[in-house]
Structure 1
Amino acid sequence: MDYQHIGITVLWTFLYGYIIVGAVDFGAGFFMLYAKIIKKDHIINELVSRYLNPVWEVTNVFLVFFFVGIVGFFPDTAYYFGTTLLIPASIALILLTIRGAFYAFETYGKDTKFQWVFLYGMTGLLIPASFSTVLTISEGGFIEKTKNGVSLDYFELLMSPYAWAVVFLSIVSVLYISSAFLTYYAHKADDKPAYELLRKWFMIWAGPMIVICQFVFLSLRQHNAEHFNTAVTHYWWLFGLSIVFFLIGFVLIWQRRNHGIAFIAIMIQFALAFFGYGISKMPYILYPYIDLNHAVVNDSMALALVIVFIAGLLLLVPSLVLLLRLFIFDADYVSGKRR
């Protein structure tokens, strides 16, 4: 395996980490808003706050590593994506700023107003929707290259069934992953009212999760037949295993047992589907402009970046595990006895 393949594997791992950690964070915000609307915020707010307080500051570290790494390894991505994603990326940054402001008010303010909870909850859905634009555009067909540079065809993007399928997939995935983790967390905290409510929400979102995945595949066949054919011909087994782990996670939570194993199964489900998508797309990062084999930096720089980002991954993952052990999964902390 050469440097560019090692590099993209490490970066894809960072992005997967952000999807899992970020999804729990984003979904928790929406559930706080929804619970407040239906007058059940007293059931889950303490539980959600105990999770968010230790981890919200590290969530975006995965994302920063990915974007810095993708530009470092493949400089052409800065030209193509930097120009075309100016508006979507700006919207995402504004939304992230709003979330950061909520954390400040929640942490240091005496009272959290509904307006802030509303913004916090809605940004939890809008941020992944805006970031999903990157994956949509990478499938090709949306960027126009002329002698004056590159531009994004917004009309084509807004009219694309595939683009909307990916947007809905990002939103449903956030609610599905978050409800699964928080169900496990409520069970570990022995908080029965919160557990019953969150388990109910998980059961509601599990069905749409599997349906929207099928719709994304069908729309991909129409939008990028080459990628679709590669995925179903050579990597069908990864997506098949993903469905198996989906069923394992769903059945375990449905039967109210082994919630930790259930969430691990859901993480594996997403890992198989996410890496299957990435592998089947190779060698293109952006159809047809950025080819993995031709867009990489020189070997010396690539080697240095590989070392740095592998070291970053080896540092970040144990740090996150330590954070979880000290706070999230600590028996006294999870039960609310220690803050």
Structure 2
Amino acid sequence: MDYQHIGVTVLWLFLYGYIIIGAIDFGAGFFAFHAKLTKQDHIINNLISRYLNPVWEVTNVFFVFFFVGIVGFFPDSAYYFGSTLLIPGSVALILLTIRGSFYAFENYGQEGKLSWLFLYGATGLLIPASLSTILTIAEGGFIKEDKHGVHLEWLDLLLSPYAWAVVFLAIVSVLYISSGFLTYYANKAKDNEAYKLLRQWFLIWAIPMIIICQFVFLSLRQHNETHFNNAITHFWWLFGLSTTFFIIAVTLIYLRRAHGLAFIMMLLQFGTAFFGYGISKMPYILYPYIDINKAVVNEQMALMLVIVFILGLLLLVPSLILLLRLFIFDADYVKGKK
């Protein structure tokens, strides 16, 4: 394995970390607003706040590492993605700013208002929806290059079944992952009322989760048949494992057993599917413009970037684990005693 493949693997780990941690955060915001709207906030919002307070500031670190790394390893990505993602990226940045403002008002204000909770919940779904366009555009077919530069074909993007399937997958995944983790968290806190409500939400969102995955595969076949054939021919076993982990996770939660193991199964479910998607897409980052075998920086720079990002991963993951042990999974903190 050469430097570019090692680099892509490390960056894919950063993106996977952001998807999981970000999904829990984004989904928690939506559930907090929904609970407030349905007068159930007294049941779960304290639990959600105990999770969000220690971790919300580190969520975007994984995201920053990924994009800095992509531009560092593959400079052409700055040209192609920078030109085409100006509007979606600006929208995502505005939504992230609104979300950050909520945290400030929530921490220093006297009482959270419904309008702020609405913005918090809405951005929890709109941010992953806007960011999902990156993966959609990377499949190719939406970018045109001519003598005037690179252009995003907006009409093709808006009318694409694959683009909408990915958007809905991002939203459903956020709600599924977040409800799964919060169910485990409520069980660990021995908060029976919150547990019953969150478990119900998890089981509800599990059904759309498996359905939308099928739509994504079917629409991928129509949009990029080469990628689809590579996925089902050479990496079908990764997607088979993902389905198996999904069944185990849902079964354990349904039977009210081994909630920690159920969440691990969810992590493996998304991990196998996410890496199956990424591996089957190789060697292209942006089809057909960015090939990792041709668009990488020089060998010496690639080596230095690999070292830096591996060290970053080795620093970030233990720090996150320490944060979880000190706060999120501390016996007294999880029960709201401190």
Number of the residue aligned with 2:180:
180
Mapped to 2, the partners of 1:92 and 1:26 lie a distance apart of 13
Number of the residue aligned with 1:329:
329
1:226 deviates by 0.2
Mapped to 2, the partners of 1:42 and 1:154 lie a distance apart of 43
Mapped to 1, the partners of 2:111 and 2:246 lie a distance apart of 39
For residues 260-310 of structure 1, the C-alpha deviation after alignment (integer angstroms, 9 at most, x for no partner) is 000000000000000000000000000110001000000000000000000
The one-letter amino acid paired with 2:48 is: V
User: 2:67 aligned with 1:67, yes or no?
Assistant: yes
1:158 deviates by 0.2
Mapped to 2, the partners of 1:76 and 1:33 lie a distance apart of 41
Mapped to 2, the partners of 1:259 and 1:166 lie a distance apart of 28
For residues 14-66 of structure 1, the C-alpha deviation after alignment (integer angstroms, 9 at most, x for no partner) is 00000000000000000001111111011001000000000000000000000
For residues 152-210 of structure 1, the C-alpha deviation after alignment (integer angstroms, 9 at most, x for no partner) is 01000000000000000000000000000000000000000000000000000000000
1:114 deviates by 0.6
Q: TM-score, structure 1 length as denominator?
A: 0.99
For residues 193-247 of structure 1, the C-alpha deviation after alignment (integer angstroms, 9 at most, x for no partner) is 0000000000000000000001000000000000000000000000000000001
Number of the residue aligned with 2:32:
32
Q: Which runs of 5+ in 1 are unaligned?
A: none
Number of the residue aligned with 1:234:
234
Mapped to 2, the partners of 1:188 and 1:106 lie a distance apart of 25
Q: How does 1:264-279 map to 2 (within 5 A)?
A: 264-279=264-279
Q: Which runs of 4+ in 1 moved over 2 A?
A: none
Q: How does 1:1-339 map to 2 (within 5 A)?
A: 1-338=1-338
The one-letter amino acid paired with 1:158 is: L
SS at match of 1:58: helix
Mapped to 2, the partners of 1:135 and 1:314 lie a distance apart of 26
Mapped to 2, the partners of 1:117 and 1:144 lie a distance apart of 40
SS at match of 2:57: coil
Mapped to 2, the partners of 1:31 and 1:295 lie a distance apart of 42
Mapped to 2, the partners of 1:137 and 1:99 lie a distance apart of 25
Query: Identity of counterpart residues, as a percentage?
Result: 76
1:325 deviates by 0.2
The one-letter amino acid paired with 1:320 is: L
The one-letter amino acid paired with 1:321 is: I
Q: Which runs of 5+ in 2 are unaligned?
A: none
For residues 45-91 of structure 1, the C-alpha deviation after alignment (integer angstroms, 9 at most, x for no partner) is 10000000000000000000000000000000000000000000000
SS at match of 1:204: helix
The one-letter amino acid paired with 2:212 is: I
SS at match of 1:145: strand
Mapped to 2, the partners of 1:151 and 1:37 lie a distance apart of 42
Mapped to 1, the partners of 2:212 and 2:319 lie a distance apart of 34
SS at match of 2:151: strand
Mapped to 2, the partners of 1:113 and 1:178 lie a distance apart of 23
Mapped to 2, the partners of 1:162 and 1:252 lie a distance apart of 32
Mapped to 2, the partners of 1:12 and 1:227 lie a distance apart of 18
Aligned residues: 338
The one-letter amino acid paired with 2:300 is: S
Q: TM-score, structure 2 length as denominator?
A: 1.00
